[in-house]
Amino acid sequence: MLIENNVSLKPFNTFKVDVIAKYFAEVADLSELKELLDDKNYISEKRLILGGGSNILFTKDFDGIVIKLNNSEIEKFHETDEEIFIKADAGVEWDSFVKYCVDNGLSGVENLSLIPGNVGAAPIQNIGAYGVEVKDIIDSVSGLMCNSGYFITIPNNHCNFEYRNSIFKNELKNEFVITSVLFKLPKQKKVNLNYAPLNNYFSGKKKSEITSKNVRKAVISIRKSKLPDPKILGNAGSFFKNPIISKEKYEQLISEYSDLNGYPESETSIKISAGWLIEQCGLKGKRIGNVGVHEKQALVIVNYGNATGNEIVEFSKMIQNEVKNKFNIHINNEVNIL
């Protein structure tokens, strides 16, 4: 295991922000991870576990040790009459995991195709897209408790999953390193077309054409048509969470904006599109210097050149202020700002 000093993190974050890590280590397996966390030379250092770097915005150098997990095994764990359990290491690229499932005839995860990042980060954020959240298919999450050095497994119902939230972002933040995730997928082939763009995509198609493989192709096609490739243009995908507002507030808005779509979150609350709010403020495609709102998707902030993390943060605050002033709604960051 090589531990380097003063390493640029630009290649390791999709915003392509150039900051320096005091120490940087790539860890291949669990024994190396435990060895590193027990190392007296680094035990007092601030730690950051880095996955694909797709949901993080650095605003300064990291004065501590950045640990990148590179474990990358996927295996069928076991099965029952109704379900198949697939175990994936934290270092597995998320879309590679989705492809593995679809290629092996499994359904339930195809709506989450092409989301950037690694498997280990998926439960933290409770990633979601096109009507599916990863909590819907997670059986349990395994990892290492940093202080005790014990490996433990946390079942789904103890992960406190909520919209873009989990126990790993709160009580266990910086205390627990996810090393693998166990997924539970149904043997019965069933696809989810509840999300309008997907439903429209398959409108008029024969039932035999609506397979998990074709849904994956559709999701990839839709995402590529409106989202920038982080390999080409620095971004972290959706920068803001979709806000959840009261039914009364929603009814007030649709009386003025008939094209506003809402999705029931509870009996008294509705989730609406942050991208729609931003677009209504006239900010889609807006650019200031090296930072801008993407021209095809208002939820995405992009780094057009060598923007600093602080420039991106200030730009995001401008967006929040514009939305607040026009709609009296606050939109929260989805991206983790450091």
Angle at which helices 212-226 and 94-103 cross, to 10°: 150
pLDDT class of 59 with cuts at 50, 70, 90: very high
Decide: 65 and 92 in contact? Cβ < 8 Å.
Answer: no
What dihedral angle (degrees, nearest 10) is formed by the CA atoms of 190, 196, 202, 203? 120
Q: Taking the model in full, what pTM does it have?
A: 0.85
At the second CATH level, the architecture of 234-337 is Alpha-Beta Complex (3.90)
pLDDT greater at residue 196 or residue 25:
25
Q: How far is CA 41 from CA 5, 18, 36, 197, in A?
A: 13, 26, 9, 52
Q: What is the pLDDT of residue 148?
A: 83
What are 134-173's pLDDT values in tens digits? Answer: 999 999 999 999 888 889 999 999 999 998 899 999 899 8
Paired tokens of 90: 């934290």
Q: Using the predicted structure, report yes or no on whether residue 23 has a pLDDT greater than 80.
A: yes
In this prediction, residue 135 carries a pLDDT of 95
User: H helices within the chain, ranges in order?
Assistant: 30-38, 94-103, 122-125, 196-201, 212-226, 247-254, 274-280, 309-327
Catalytically active residues, by annotation: 164, 238, 334
In the chain, where are the structural domains located? 3-69, 74-186, 234-337
**How far is residue 330's CA from residue 321's CA, in Å, rounded to a whole number?**
8
pLDDT of 146: 86
Q: How far apart are the first and last CA of the chain?
A: 26
Long-range contacts of the stretch 202-207 (C-beta < 8 A, 24+): none
Class of domain 74-186: alpha beta
Q: Which residues contact 188 (CB under 8 A, 6 or more apart)?
A: 82
What are 124-145's pLDDT values in tens digits? 999 998 889 999 999 999 999 9
For 3-69, CATH number? 3.30.43.10
What is the Cα–Cα distance from 100 to 148, expressed in whole angstroms?
34
pLDDT at 141: 97
Q: How far apart are CA 285 and CA 299, in angstroms?
A: 11
The string of pLDDT tens digits covering residues 199-245 is 888 887 787 778 889 999 999 998 888 888 888 899 998 899 999 99
Q: Residue written as tokens 């971004």?
A: 235
Q: Is 187:170 a contact under the CB 8 Å cutoff? A: no
Q: Which two tokens stand for residue 146?
A: 């940093």
Return the pLDDT at 87: 97
